[in-house]
């Protein structure tokens, strides 16, 4: 085998194969059994997961997925695939680009196998999480490690570091958010930066995610600063009974409306691709929460997805990490 080619593997979280309770159950069972995600001893957690959560949540979540499902499948998978195709077009013959999901399909192990079969002896793993968390970035690398553990002949591996404060990332977000704000039919008084939350305990135990979200928010806030727009930060998607990072997005949306904010836009700079959390939780439920509390105009801005700004940023980060290989 000649293994001189360079491979790039884009990795995102994962998503069910279909918006059905059965498919969502399979996905949640894998996701929520990851000890990087739920840091409760398995002897305590597994009975709760199998006895309660997997009997109730799949039906509710499948309904939510059904509201945002596209002809190309789950938004997260469809957009990650499009990002891989876009990056492939930008890198041309210089590298082979594939994409994988940490949970569900296509799996990290299967895509690493394909890259090797295509002659890639050097592979850059690019977890598409701007902010590092053990629950996301490290978990993706655990899956890479597990796949490598089964190989006699391993490829050389590099990893794209978190890019929460990278000037190219902040500039791409700023340009894309300004473009979208200018196209809105109303002028928002508040721009809410909503990041996915996590248990506060995970932060206390030393996970850098919270600090990196706040730094992205600070840099982006400086970049977007103007007199007629107040920028706020919040954390969404609370799961389970433990205390999560605060302030919670749903609480902030209602509180803003109650204190008189009429026009609000929300954007999620912690997601590289739109997904259930943006298209359903923010765009549908968030809207209901804000309008029910007295708001009049609400918009959810898109993630960077496959915009020129987003793809140019991804290409520049990947080329930088491939230096010496390309
Ligand atoms: C962007 C970073 C993410 C962190 C940090 C994160 C932590 C985390 N998430 C859960 C529980 C759930 N998350 C769910 C969906 C989901 N989470 C992320 C990203 C992060 N999660 C994304 C991109 C998505 C969307 C997936 C999609 O298919 O579109 C879900 C599933 C949906 C549902 O049933 O509500 C759960 C559950 C925990 C416990 C956690 C802890 C650190
Ligand atoms: Fe999550
Ligand atoms: Fe959610």
Residues 12 and 82: their CA atoms lie apart, in Å, by 13
Q: List the domain boundaries for the chain.
A: 5-163+309-321, 167-300
The DSSP string of 253-305 is HHHHHHTT--EEEEE-TT-SS--HIIIIIIIIIIHHHHHHTT--EEEE---ST
What residues pack around ion ligand 3 (CB closer than 5 A)? 237, 277, 281
Decide which of 3.20.20.140, 3.40.50.1400, 3.40.250.10, 3.40.50.620 is the CATH code for 5-163+309-321.
Answer: 3.40.50.1400
What pTM, to 2 d.p., does this model score?
0.97
Does any ligand 1 atom lie closer than 6 A to the CB of residue 61?
A: yes
Q: Do domains 5-163+309-321 and 167-300 have the same CATH topology?
A: yes
Establish whether 196 is an annotated binding residue.
Answer: yes
List C-alpha distances in Å: 124 to 4, 12, 119, 242, 308.
13, 14, 14, 36, 22
Does any ligand 1 atom lie closer than 6 A to the CB of residue 136?
A: yes
Cα(320) to centroid of ligand 3, in Å? 33
Name the residue of 26, 276, 280 whose CB sits within 8 Å of the most ligand 1 atoms, as the mutation to test its pocket: 276
| pLDDT reported for residue 4 | 87
**CATH classification code of 167-300:** 3.40.50.1400
| pLDDT reported for residue 2 | 57
Average pLDDT of adjacent 10-residue blocks, the chain of 326 residues: 85 98 98 98 98 98 98 98 98 97 98 97 98 98 98 97 98 98 98 98 98 98 97 96 97 98 98 98 98 98 98 98 95
Q: Is residue 136 helix, strand or coil? A: helix
């Amino acid at each position: 085998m000649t293994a001189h080619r360079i491979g790039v593997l884009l990795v995102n979280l994962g998503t069910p194969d279909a918006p059905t309770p059965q498919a969502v159950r399979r996905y949640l069972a894998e996701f929520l059994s990851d000890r990087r995600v739920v840091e409760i001893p398995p002897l305590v957690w597994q009975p709760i997961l199998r006895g309660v959560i997997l009997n109730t949540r799949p039906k509710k979540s499948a309904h939510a997925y059904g509201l945002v499902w596209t002809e190309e499948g789950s938004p997260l998978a469809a957009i990650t695939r499009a990002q891989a195709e876009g990056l492939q077009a930008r890198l041309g013959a210089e590298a082979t680009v594939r994409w994988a999901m940490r949970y569900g399909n296509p799996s990290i192990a299967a895509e690493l196998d394909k890259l090797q079969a295509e002659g890639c002896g050097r592979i850059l793993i690019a977890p598409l999480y701007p902010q590092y968390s053990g629950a996301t970035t490290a978990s993706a690398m655990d899956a890479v490690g597990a796949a490598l553990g089964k190989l006699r002949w391993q490829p050389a591996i590099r990893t794209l570091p978190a890019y929460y404060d990278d000037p190219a990332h902040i500039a791409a977000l700023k340009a894309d958010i300004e473009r979208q704000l200018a196209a809105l039919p109303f002028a928002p008084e508040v721009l809410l930066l909503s990041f996915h939350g996590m248990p506060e305990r995970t932060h206390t135990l030393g996970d850098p995610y919270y600090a990196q979200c706040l730094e992205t928010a600070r840099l982006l806030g400086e970049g977007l600063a103007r007199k007629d727009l107040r920028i706020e930060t919040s954390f969404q998607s609370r799961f389970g009974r433990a205390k999560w990072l605060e302030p919670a997005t749903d609480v902030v949306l209602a509180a803003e409306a109650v204190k008189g904010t009429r026009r609000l836009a929300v954007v999620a700079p912690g997601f590289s691709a739109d997904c259930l959390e943006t298209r359903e939780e923010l765009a549908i439920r968030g809207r209901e929460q804000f309008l029910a509390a007295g708001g009049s105009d609400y918009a959810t801005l898109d993630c960077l997805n496959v915009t020129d700004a987003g793809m140019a940023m991804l290409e520049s980060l990947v080329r930088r990490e491939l230096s010496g290989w390309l």
